Amino acid sequence: MYSIGIDVGSVAAKAAVFDGQKIIAKEIMPTGWSPRESGTLILAQALRAAQIEKDQVKKIVGTGYGRVALSFIDKKVTEITCHGRGAHFVAPDIRTVIDIGGQDSKVIKLDAKGNVVDFIMNDKCAAGTGRFLQVMAHALEMDVSDLSNAGKDAVPQNVNSMCTVFAESEVISLRANGASKESIAAGLLEAVCKKTYSLVSKVGVVDKVFFSGGVSRNPLLVELLGEKLGVRVFSSDESQFLGAIGAAVLGYDE
């Protein structure tokens, strides 16, 4: 028998299929305008990828902001709990998780069993999130995936505002004054690092840190966070799927 975790976030919908020992399939797609539709489609993709039928699945657990729109799931669980359990499954020695998604950031502290013992979440604005970086990359006329390479060896410009609207204006002004795209990219990532550090400092760091969410795919930001926190920060191929993996593991455990 199998369990499936569905994580419908603001930017991407993810699914993970668990057979009780390992994740046998992972799928991802843009959320688009309809969380309900993307959740239904990602489920179908996951079933095909795992080469199983829906009646072989004993539980489907939904998480992410779009979980409320999923009528086919058996249980809804918060993304805090799912990211914690997902991190524990992928790396059992992890005690701190930083998750930066499309529109929010969170820091989660875990115990030895992967249970959440403390957390803090920034969901009041898009400051320092994937959406923030996406808008800034657009202002620099580059793809968000290019920010890391662009800023790698550049001297960072000072970016003062973390408000998406004001920061975009600041980026445009810096460009108009002759600052290079590379230096601005470096400055933006350093600003996100400082914002994240401020959030982490309110919860504290235990040992090494697992960095999850779409923004964790930025190697330079991973490096900057490690230097700022003074601990090892790492991500993996599972980083963007952590919520879905945690949901699937929770479903199977029940």
Which domains does the chain show, CATH number per domain?
1-91+238-254 (3.30.420.40), 95-235 (3.30.420.40)
User: For residue 14, which phi and psi values (nearest 5 degrees)?
Assistant: -125, 150
Cβ partners under 8 Å of residue 44, min gap 6: none
- Bridge partner list, 96: 109, 209
- Identity of the amino acid at 15: A
What predicted TM-score, i.e. pTM, was given to this entire model? 0.92
Which tokens hold the place of 127? 């400051």
Name the burial class of residue 203, with classes exposed (0-12), middle (13-18) and buried (19+) by CB atoms within 10 angstroms of its CB.
middle
> What is the separation of C-alpha 66 from the centre of its chain, rounded to a whole number of angstroms?
15
In angstroms, what CA-CA distances link 188 with 185, 196, 197, 202?
A: 5, 12, 14, 22
Q: List the pLDDT tens digit at each of the 254 positions of the chain.
A: 999 999 999 889 999 999 999 999 999 999 999 999 999 999 999 999 999 999 999 999 999 999 999 999 999 999 999 999 999 999 999 999 999 988 889 999 999 988 999 999 986 777 889 899 999 999 999 999 899 999 999 999 999 998 889 999 999 999 999 999 999 999 999 999 999 999 999 998 988 899 998 899 899 999 999 999 999 998 888 899 999 999 999 999 98
